[in-house]
Chain A
Amino acid sequence: METGFPSPAQGYEEKSLDLNSLFIKKPSSTYLMEMSGRALEGVGIFDRDLLIVDRSLKPKPNSVVIAEFQGEFVCRVFKKGLGGVYRLQGQGVSPIEMDENVHIIAVVPFSVRRHT
């Protein structure tokens, strides 16, 4: 049996915002990593920041990317240089020219700052 007045908000309900679905578009290809060092302070990524890493995304110019280089994971900005040559850039580190020894494995669509 129904009692009382219907809620005036009835029909207007929407799902609350959910951080997981906002920042993790594809859970199966999304990983977390941690930034170590200051190479990306220029784009607002600081030491110990969390990186949301999506391996299904393709890099575009100016994307923040994760690459395998010399047996390590590095986080850099994917830049188109003069003459259309692509390279990976960061602050205070030498740029990495794109060749067969560099593999971009993922794009970083978001990063998270720790305030504690």
Chain B
Amino acid sequence: MILHVDCNSFYASCEQAFRPELKGKPVVVLSNNDGIIVALSKEAKAVGIKRGDAYFQVKDEIAAKGGAVFSSNYTLYADMSNRIYKILVRLAPSVEPYSIDESFLFFSPIKQITEIAFVIKQTIEQETGIPVSIGIAPTKVLSKLANKLAKKASGVLNVEEINLDEALSTYPVEDIWGIGYRYAIFLKDHGIKTALELKQYPLHLAKKNLTIKGFYIVQELNGIPQIDELKPKPKQNIISSRGFSRLVESLEELEEATADYCLEAILKMRKQQSAASIIGVAVMTNRFREDLPQYYNSIAYDLKPPSAFAPLLVKKAIEGLHMIYEPGYKYQKVMIHLLNLVHEDRQQQDFFEEELPKQKALMACFDKINEKYGSHTLFIGTQGVTKNWSMKRNFLSPSYTTSLNDIPKVK
């Protein structure tokens, strides 16, 4: 059996867990640069606030109801996610994390599976303060679906204990995991509007008329597992780009941002054991500011051999920035592109590259130190220390679990 564990309103619940006075109050979490709402507590949903609403639209209403607004505190969310993962590993024979707030658990068929799910739910809630719900089913698609139903019930739902077809008959096809907006339209054109209609779609027709993904989903709805572990495929390209909190004019500040984004992209690339064949840099002004002169430019370099060595990549990126920088503009964004990624072993094709083992050892050490003592413990001088340009996070909560200065106080 598969248990799908999903944290309820994860980001908002993390914030509430450390601020008891916010329990039962509307809480929302904003996107990078405090733009729009990306997560909200059930109390915020209940007063009609939606994902994607802008902060200024809702701030008065939230304040009036005694709620709170937060910037995304990824440090806190990642730590809480980690704790939940460790609890799951302790309690389940096999765990497959799916995202920061969702995991699949695999159990052999046992009678007491629903009771076990309740124990898992209670343990996570007790040990982290984060509420979760659990869907139980023989396949991943059904377990995700069961979880959505569980949120409306007691928080745990086993498809084998309900009249599944009845539940599926009112479940819209577009809410099934793996069915996107376009695919839902395609299915509706074939007369399939509910999960039950898709489940009962004859397999031989499914094979003929649907994509392979659709065919798998039909089988999963019928309790036949088809979707294996979802290992993210190594990415071919990595792009690191974020708007600045304010428009930036000086070359020095752009250099800091370039180096910083470059290292962020390199870290992602190194985690998937890749090296880049091309590095690109682009700068742009804010195209919505029609009152200001507009500028966009980009440049890319071939890397032979492909490289994952941060000092080299940052040097190239800064060189590129110098080539495309034009004074007198107000810049809104720098983008770093690491392209045509290859497996890091492919770097060794170049014979004469004696430096490679040293570079590898240095980067491994760099990554380890930053992992252990926090990102930005070691950094490249160009990244700068002040970062006046960095993301706007005016409502950032303390890092309650990862910084000694930020731990909660009790009376």
Interface residues of A (CB under 8 A from B): 26-29, 31-37, 39, 50-51, 55-56, 66, 68, 71-75, 105
For this complex, 17 residue pairs linking A to B, each with C-beta atoms less than 8 Å apart, are: A28-B82, A28-B127, A29-B87, A29-B126, A31-B400, A32-B407, A34-B407, A34-B409, A56-B123, A56-B126, A68-B20, A68-B23, A72-B411, A73-B20, A73-B408, A74-B410, A75-B411
Whose C-beta in chain B lies nearest to the C-beta of A56?
B127
Question: Would B20 and A35 count as touching, CB distance under 8 A?
Answer: no
How many residues does chain B have at the interface if contact means C-beta atoms less than 8 Å apart?
A: 21
Task: List B contacts of A33 (CB < 8 A).
Answer: 407-410
Given A27-B86, A68-B20, A71-B20; A35-B410 close (CB under 8 Å):
yes
B389-411 at interface with A (beta carbon < 8 Å)? 400-401, 404, 407-411
Tell me the bound Cα distance from A41 to B139 in angstroms. 55
Q: A36-B409, A68-B23 are in contact. List 20 more A-B contacts (CB 8 A).
A: A28-B83, A28-B127, A29-B126, A29-B128, A31-B401, A31-B407, A33-B409, A33-B410, A34-B407, A35-B409, A36-B411, A50-B407, A56-B127, A66-B410, A68-B20, A71-B20, A71-B21, A72-B20, A72-B411, A74-B410
Question: Would A105 and B129 count as touching, CB distance under 8 A?
Answer: yes
Q: Does B322 contact A (CB under 8 A)?
A: no
Tell me the bound Cα distance from A68 to B408 in angstroms. 12
Residue of A28, A37, A50 near B411 (CB, 8 A) is: A37
Tell me the bound Cα distance from A58 to B411 in angstroms. 21
Task: List B contacts of A68 (CB < 8 A).
Answer: 20, 23
Whose C-beta in chain B lies nearest to the C-beta of A105?
B129
Task: List A contacts of B45 (CB < 8 A).
Answer: none
Tell me the bound Cα distance from A35 to B20 in angstroms. 17
Task: List B contacts of A26 (CB < 8 A).
Answer: 127
Tell me the bound Cα distance from A56 to B400 in angstroms. 18
Residue of B90, B127, B128, B410 near A73 (CB, 8 A) is: B410
Whose C-beta in chain A lies nearest to the C-beta of B407?
A32
Tell me the bound Cα distance from A72 to B21 in angstroms. 6
Whose C-beta in chain B lies nearest to the C-beta of A58?
B126
Task: List A contacts of B86 (CB < 8 A).
Answer: 27-28
Task: List B contacts of A36 (CB < 8 A).
Answer: 409-411
Whose C-beta in chain A lies nearest to the C-beta of B86?
A28
Tell me the bound Cα distance from A73 to B22 in angstroms. 12
Given A33-B407, A33-B410, A39-B411; A28-B90 close (CB under 8 Å):
yes
A89 to chain B, nearest CB (A): 14
B79 to chain A, nearest CB (A): 10
Tell me the bound Cα distance from A85 to B376 in angstroms. 52
Tell me the bound Cα distance from A33 to B129 in angstroms. 15
Question: Would A34 and B408 count as touching, CB distance under 8 A?
Answer: yes
Tell me the bound Cα distance from A37 to B409 in angstroms. 10
Whose C-beta in chain B lies nearest to the C-beta of A27?
B86
Residue of B21, B23, B127, B410 near A29 (CB, 8 A) is: B127
Whose C-beta in chain A lies nearest to the C-beta of B400?
A31
A69 to chain B, nearest CB (A): 8
Whose C-beta in chain B lies nearest to the C-beta of A93?
B411
Question: Would B410 and A34 count as touching, CB distance under 8 A?
Answer: yes
Question: Would A74 and B411 count as touching, CB distance under 8 A?
Answer: yes
Tell me the bound Cα distance from A34 to B410 in angstroms. 6
B232 to chain A, nearest CB (A): 24
